Amino acid sequence: MKGRFTFPFRESSSLTTTTSARPNTYAVRSGDTINKLAERFGTTPSALAAKNNLSDPNKIKVGQKLVLPDGFDAAPAAQPSRAATTATTAGAGGPVRDSNGREFPTSRDGTPLFKQGDAEWGKRTLGTSSSIGAAGCAMTATAMAVSKISGKTINPGQMDAWLDKNGGYSGNGLNWDKAAQMGGLHASSPAWSLDTINKQVDAGRPVVVGVDYKAGSNGGANGTDHWITITGRGQEGGKPVYYANDPATGKQITLSQDGNTLKGGPQGYKTTGQLRTFSGGNPPRPGTSTQPAPGGSTQPAPGTGGTTAPAPAAPAGGKESLKGTTLPNQQLKRGSKGEGVEKLQDALVKLGYMTKAQVATGPGTFGPKTEAALKKFQKDHGVDAIGEYGPKTRAAFEKLGAKIGGAASGTPSTGTPSTGTPSTGGVTGPLPKTGNAFMDAMAADAIKSQRETGVPASVTLAQAALESGWGKSGLSTKGNNFFGIKGEGPAGHVTMPTKEFLNGKWVTVDAAFRKYNSPSESFADHGNFLRKNKRYAEAFNHTDNAARFAQEIHKAGYATDPEYSNKLIAMINKYGLERFDAIGRQ
């Protein structure tokens, strides 16, 4: 089947170019690294370093202006609310790599996020007369869907080159089935049906749909101005929503349901009734975005097709039992070596997530192949797909019959202690030591708060130390209040003098602060305070980036000190607090 397609807009709303006349710049902030910036702006560390003539990419300074490579856009300003809102762009499975080694972020279900105007392929000729950046939305949307379903990360540039050699275009028209064949799949064009979409995305199979955004198109079949990739669905505000990857921006958007039509996105998209689905490939593996019904159950919500998200499919090869397999009772992650890693690799091979040939390239070494295989296992078994072997992952292996033994010999994961005191706050097992008594005493409560609310443990610890003077302030000793939260608490309140930065200068005022029965109660309330307060909502789009989270709560008004977020970030870096975030995600 062939489809017509046009590129609807750039983030600047220009319809004529794919690169900016002037490149974007970014001023380095405390906590930034070249790797983090590359991931944030959708480029690579090497490209960013080359663009700025950095002889040593590890040395960038606060305030230094960096030029972003053409074709990559800085984080956009918040868009006005329409029928739906922009969703987070970080996938549960983390970034994926193509065969060239370039990393791409994923949406919440693990589908790669590609931008048709990307500098790597945006200027490639599409078909006979256009370019991917100008008219490659259909092919880019297909590349995202095919990558997720086939398990092979195929970027739009690679797909376009393959289509050129294999008769994939008729003029500028895409042969959908030919594009799907690059991933070992087939494409079809069924009648428009939300029930069809529901069944596909619930099974982990993204679909491509046509949308219009121009006045007068009216959502009809001839009004298709653009193509997007629907990857999942859920509930927001008690109403059904659909999540989609938008080739125009390379970001995930949210669409609301209006009868049999889906609407939303940055330009008020409206579906036109054109639908493409894909068959074949690997056994479907559902993503992490399932359909919750009101009340938090996993039953289907009414009016959305009546399908229930299936249980995770059996891994490749159909081997589901690990009876007779012993796995180590230790922390393992990228860089770990030894017998424990070998046992983990053996289990992943038995389950079909790795091949013996892959293990042979690094037996006993926890490298990128082991990490990628573990992420897939975690995603399929309801564990946060962070690629680290911890308590929740061990429990998932136990359910398959594995026996968890003592710590195996070999080099332990960096930053994981071999000894330590039992933690408090509901977190069991030894925790890393920072060398600071206050941090070490409060780490478990911070991790527990992260698991319950999503607030990074590193930010919680830094805030607690800064707000309470390392636990020595009158507010923390009299009221167990470690975060300076004002108002009435579970144990009443404490009136204390406090300094506020008002009208450009520091002034001292008396204020009522929440009083708690214990430090744990204070940490729990802090997390809930941030989670439930809408002013901090943007921060929760960056829970995997402690520095950005700190900046967002500061920007939203948590503290009046103009250096507040910089102080938090400096403390996080000094004590290596982000390792607690990794534990909180297990």
3-state secondary structure of 514: strand
> d(Cα 204, Cα 197) in Å, to the nearest integer?
11
pLDDT of residue 41: 63
3-state percent breakdown (helix, strand, coil) of the chain, nearest 5 = 30, 20, 50
pLDDT of residue 329: 80
H or E segment at 233?
strand 226-236
Query: Treating both helix axes as pointing N-terminal to C-terminal, what angle do 564-575 and 457-468 enclose, rounded to 10 degrees?
Result: 110
Which letter does DSSP use for residue 486 in this model? B
Q: Which CATH class is domain 96-280?
A: alpha beta
H or E segment at 40?
helix 34-40
Supply 120's token pair.
């790597």
Supply 469's token pair.
């003077």
Which letter does DSSP use for residue 407 in this model? P
Supply 215's token pair.
């006045």
Closest by alpha carbon to 143, among 18, 229, 251?
A: 229
Supply 413's token pair.
């994961």
Reported in sequence order, the residue ranges of 165-306 that DSSP labels E, i.e. its strands, are 169-170, 173-175, 185-188, 207-212, 226-236, 239-246, 251-258, 261-264, 269-280
**Residues carrying CATH 1.10.530.10, the chain:** 437-584
572 close to 462: Cβ distance less than 8 angstroms: yes
pLDDT of residue 155: 93
- DSSP assignment of 420-479, as one string? -PPP-TT--S-----S-HHHHHHHHHHHHHHHHH---HHHHHHHHHHHHTTTTSHHHHHH
Strand pairing class (130-131; 185-188): unpaired
327 close to 348: Cβ distance less than 8 angstroms: no
116 close to 132: Cβ distance less than 8 angstroms: yes
**What single-letter amino acid sits at 427?**
V
506 close to 500: Cβ distance less than 8 angstroms: yes
**Residues carrying CATH 1.10.101.10, the chain:** 326-404
- DSSP assignment of 428-440, as one string? -S-----S-HHHH
Looking at domain 326-404, its CATH architecture is: Orthogonal Bundle (1.10)
> d(Cα 305, Cα 329) in Å, to the nearest integer?
43
pTM for the model stands at: 0.39
Residues forming beta bridges with residue 230, ordered by sequence position: 207, 244
Closest by alpha carbon to 463, among 449, 307, 452?
A: 449
List per-residue pLDDT tens for the chain, 586 residues long. 333 333 333 222 222 222 223 335 778 888 788 777 766 665 667 667 777 888 776 788 888 888 766 433 333 333 333 332 233 333 444 688 887 778 889 888 889 999 999 988 988 988 887 889 888 999 999 999 999 998 889 999 999 988 988 888 887 788 998 999 998 888 888 889 999 999 888 888 999 999 887 655 454 445 688 899 999 988 887 888 999 999 988 999 999 998 999 998 767 889 988 999 998 864 444 343 333 322 333 322 222 222 222 333 333 333 457 888 888 888 888 888 888 888 899 888 888 888 887 887 778 888 888 988 898 888 888 788 888 888 888 888 888 888 887 433 333 333 332 223 333 445 666 788 888 889 988 999 999 999 888 999 999 999 999 988 898 888 888 889 998 888 888 888 888 877 665 666 667 777 788 888 888 899 999 998 898 888 888 999 898 899 999 999 998 888 878 888 999 999 998 888 999 988 888 7
Supply 250's token pair.
């390379």
| CB hemisphere CA count around 481 (13 angstroms) | 22
Q: How far apart are the first and last CA of the chain?
A: 44
Supply 278's token pair.
């894909």
Closest by alpha carbon to 8, among 272, 240, 192?
A: 272
pLDDT of residue 53: 82
271 close to 138: Cβ distance less than 8 angstroms: no
231 close to 109: Cβ distance less than 8 angstroms: yes
- DSSP assignment of 125-183, as one string? EETTTEEHHHH-HHHHHHHHHHHHHHS----HHHHHHHHHHTT-EETTEEEHHHHHHTT
- Domain 437-584 annotated CATH 1.10.530.10: yes
**Residues carrying CATH 3.90.70.10, the chain:** 96-280
